[in-house]
Every structure is written in structure tokens, then in C-alpha cells.
């Protein structure tokens, strides 16, 4: 039986949050980093393909939204499974949909009927209230709040302490330009 090994691309601060979240989930046999700073990693980012036989799972822990989404696409093309990581001490409604490459970290709260698209970061202490949509590649930073019935465009960053309300809804043109559909 093949081991359930996880390869994390990016060994910076966010990478360590990803690793601790994955460890807390207790579903992976082995967790290692790829990073261009080799003292923390078993290889460089551009060597990802050579790890595809030993590691079935890859998670992209790169803070830059657009670069994170590019690496998710590349990892998928190479045949890696891209997991959803949810810290056991996050509170996530059973009616929430969270797509591959997204992480919900320690202490985050996601209420009913929320959609969190592919490649999102839902940071510690953030709150996403019911019936909201978080577009692909978005980072909801620590302590940010997305109130109910909100739509957040793809590749956005909701800074710490920000409160998003229905008054902040993007125009339909902005939504289409973001390719958030």
C-alpha cells in the first residue's frame, strides 16, 4: 500500500502553518518541504516532478495568490492530488464547500453554506459568515471578517481587521474580469 505522503511547496512562515495543520489532521504518513532554500527542504521547487512517485499529495504554501494558483495547476498536471487542509481546531459548517488547495487554519470560523474556491487561505481567527462565496486564490487574513451573503473576487487579499459587507460586492464586470466564475 502506498504511503500517504504530503509534499509542501514553500517552507516559509505560511509553509510551517500548512505543515502544522497537516500534522494536526493526522492523515499523512510523511510531510516534507520543497523550497529553493534547501536547509529546510528535501529539494527545490522546480524539482517537483522527481518527487511524484514518492509523494501522492502536494500542497502549495506560497503566499502570493497568483503564483500559488500557477503552482497548483502545475502540480495537478503532474498528477499530484491537491488536498483540502482544515485544522481540527477550526470551526467549519458541514454545509460549507471547500475546494482543493485551500487551507483553513487554527481558530478560523466558516459558517453555513459558504463556498471557498480552490487555492484559498483562511487564516487564524478569520470569520466567514453564512452564504458567502470566496473566489479562487483568495487570502482571508487573520482576524478579517466576511459578513453573510458576500462575494469576494478571486485572487483577492482581505487584510487583517477588514470587515467585508454586502456593500462591498463587486460589479458583475469585475467578477467576470477576475474569472471568479
Q: Answer whether 91's CB lies under 8 Å from 114's CB.
A: no
Sign of the dihedral through C-alpha 25, 31, 32, 35: negative
Residue 146 CA to residue 158 CA, distance in Å, equals 9
Question: Could you tell me which residues come within 8 angstroms of residue 82 by beta carbon, excluding any fewer than 6 positions away?
Answer: 57, 58, 59, 60, 72, 75, 76, 100, 101, 118
Beta strands in 29-82 (DSSP E): 30-34, 57-60
Separation between Cα atoms, residue 119 and residue 85, nearest integer Å: 11
d(CA 156, CA 123): 14
The catalytically annotated residue of 87, 130, 139, 149 is 130
139 catalytic per annotation: no
Q: Which residues are catalytic?
A: 130
Amino acid at each position: 500500500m502506498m504511503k500517504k505522503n504530503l509534499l509542501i511547496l514553500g517552507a516559509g512562515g505560511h509553509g510551517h502553518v500548512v505543515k502544522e495543520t497537516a500534522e494536526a489532521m493526522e492523515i499523512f504518513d510523511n510531510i516534507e518541504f520543497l523550497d529553493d532554500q534547501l536547509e529546510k527542504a528535501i529539494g527545490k521547487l522546480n524539482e517537483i516532478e522527481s518527487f511524484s512517485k514518492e509523494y501522492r499529495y502536494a500542497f502549495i504554501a506560497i503566499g502570493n495568490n497568483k503564483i500559488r494558483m500557477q503552482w497548483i495547476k502545475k502540480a495537478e498536471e503532474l498528477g499530484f492530488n491537491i488536498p483540502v487542509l482544515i485544522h481540527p481546531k477550526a470551526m467549519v459548517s458541514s454545509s460549507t464547500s471547500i475546494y482543493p488547495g485551500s487551507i483553513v487554519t487554527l481558530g478560523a470560523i466558516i459558517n453555513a453554506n459558504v463556498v471557498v474556491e480552490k487555492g484559498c487561505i483562511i487564516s487564524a481567527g478569520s470569520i466567514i459568515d453564512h452564504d458567502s462565496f470566496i473566489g479562487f486564490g483568495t487570502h482571508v487574513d487573520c482576524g478579517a471578517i466576511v459578513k453573510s451573503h458576500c462575494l469576494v473576487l478571486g485572487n483577492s487579499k482581505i487584510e487583517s481587521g477588514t470587515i467585508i459587507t454586502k456593500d462591498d460586492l463587486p460589479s458583475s464586470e469585475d467578477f467576470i474580469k477576475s474569472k471568479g466564475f
